[in-house]
Chains A and B, each alone.
Chain A
Amino acid sequence: MEIDSGNTAWVLASAALVLFMTPGLAFFYGGMVRSKNVLGMLMQNFFAMGLVSVLWALCAFSLAFGDGGKFIGNFDFVGLADLGKAGTEIPGLALSIPPLAFCAFQLMFAIITPALFTGATADRLKFGAYVVFLGLWSVLVYAPVAHWVFSPTGWLFDLGALDFAGGTVVHVNAGIAALALVLVLGRRRGWPTEAMPPHSLPWTLIGSGILWFGWFGFNAGSALAADGIAAQAFMNTHMAAAAAMIGWLVVEKAKGGHATTLGAASGLVAGLVAITPCAGFVGGIAPLIIGFLAGAICFLAIQLKFRFKFDDSLDVIAVHLVGGLLGSLLLGLFADSSVNSAAADGLFFGGGAELLGKQFVAVGATIVYSFVLSFAMAKILDATMGLRVTPEDEAVGLDLTQHAEAAYSSGELGSMERVSA
């Protein structure tokens, strides 16, 4: 297919937008932790931009998009070989953009996906163990699942399950990995009786704003073209975030008496998560319904961690797993082939329950695969290098113990002396 300059420009710009979501996520989470752990949180997110990028070039892109069969790619693109050469094609994809633009765009998804679960493991995950887990997970979990769903040679793509921008690959995948990690890691000392309040809600709101902004690249960029489907995905993304913020706040106000800023930030993110699989496949007021439901249901899902006593510190499971499941399954109802001819019709658009059934298969397979591998890797790392910081380090905080830095200067009282070399 001929390279289209408009499509290429949009996808390259979208790749940059999606990269920017990871620093946004870092501040979204960073504001929610206590001030002794904020650098630890920022570092886990920023470090993903380093390690995942290197692994992507070395092998992960090839394992995700190489022509290796239904379950995993191959080594054809190791070292990004041939991707810059004219005539190179990504198996199964008729792209009107350069393969390298596609590779760069997909890389940004691979970065933010494992960064998502750092919110669940906040305040207690050892940095070294995180680094190893991040690398293993990117290659052994993210790359195969991306292959199943995003590569036309993958089995879920072939089955006809739909995922426009990563409801299963990104959100369900990261959300269930978060659950596996917190089950192995255990609860923070003092949770749930001791208060662990956010140290800077302004950071969290800035982060959520960056996420909303970047998500236009995530979803509208996933059209891989600057066309009507991109415009539909753009508008759906925005409307879902807007409705979800309202949905979250309505339920929060009804149950707790106040509409909070943390609720507004969390609600809009829940809407962005839920619309992700649907973005280019639904139209009309569907994004408003999907968004509103996501806001309301994700808020209620936060109670799960208190009921079942797992310390999902910043509610990655309630927002990303539940939101991703909700969006992926609602797509089975709201998909509309008049919006996008690549979509099957959902239950509400005359397509019967067939698509819904395929969506169940896709989320089910992702949940089982990602949970089993994540749990096994976490157990092995815990037994070998230890996943968790010592109780003393947990009390002092990750910033000083893992990184030897303080986020906020303690002023005159924190007088320092240079240690002579």
Chain B
Amino acid sequence: MKLVVAIIKPFKLDDVKEALRGVGIQGMTVSEVRGFGRQRGHTEVYRGAEYTVDFVPKVRVEIVTDDGDAGRVVDTIVTAARTDKIGDGKVWVMPIEDLIRIRTGERGHDAL
């Protein structure tokens, strides 16, 4: 089992969600996060004083999937989230040691 984590532009979330649904993904977890990579932050001005804000709002998407599906999930996210502009984000994949469905206590693949 794999955990696919994607950091994407907030306005791309709908596109990513719909694309993942289209390839049969049943669930995901999202959170609003802030961060920066190569994309610079923005500037705000208050009564003439200029401030830089490095951390840019992003959305973090997490999906638990079978080993065999991970590649397809990654490709789907990359295609849907891409704008070809700096700040499109990153996707990474991590191994999962164990997985438990809380309601039933099912473990491993049964809990997917």
Contacts and interface: CB of A to CB of B under 8 A. Distances in A.
Interface string B46-64: 1001111111010000000
A417 interface: yes
A227 interface: no
Interface in B12-52: 14, 34, 42-46, 49-52
Interface in A346-364: none
A415 B54 contact: yes
A416 B14 CA distance: 29
Contacts of B46: 405
A190 B13 CA distance: 12
A413 B35 CA distance: 9
A205 B43 CA distance: 32
Contact of B9 (A395, A404, A418): A395
B92 interface: no
Interface centre among A190, A395, A416 (most CB of B within 10 A): A416
A404 B55 contact: no
Contacts of A410: 34, 53, 55, 57
A400 interface: yes
Given A392-B85, A404-B45, A414 B52 contact: no
Given A194-B14, A419-B50, A413 B45 contact: no
A416 B51 contact: yes
A419 B44 contact: no
Contacts of A404: 42-45
B45 A405 contact: yes
Given A395-B11, A404-B43, A404-B44, A415 B49 contact: no
Nearest to A193: B14
A413 B34 contact: yes
B44 A406 contact: yes
A413 B14 contact: no
A415 B55 contact: yes
A176 to B, nearest CB: 32
Given A404-B44, A404-B45, A417 B52 contact: yes
B52 A416 contact: yes
B55 A414 contact: yes
A393 B22 CA distance: 29
B52 A419 contact: yes
Interface of A: 190, 194, 392, 395-396, 400, 404-406, 410, 413-419, 421
18 contacts: A190-B11, A392-B85, A395-B9, A395-B11, A400-B44, A404-B42, A404-B43, A404-B45, A405-B45, A405-B46, A406-B44, A410-B55, A413-B34, A414-B55, A416-B53, A417-B52, A419-B50, A421-B50
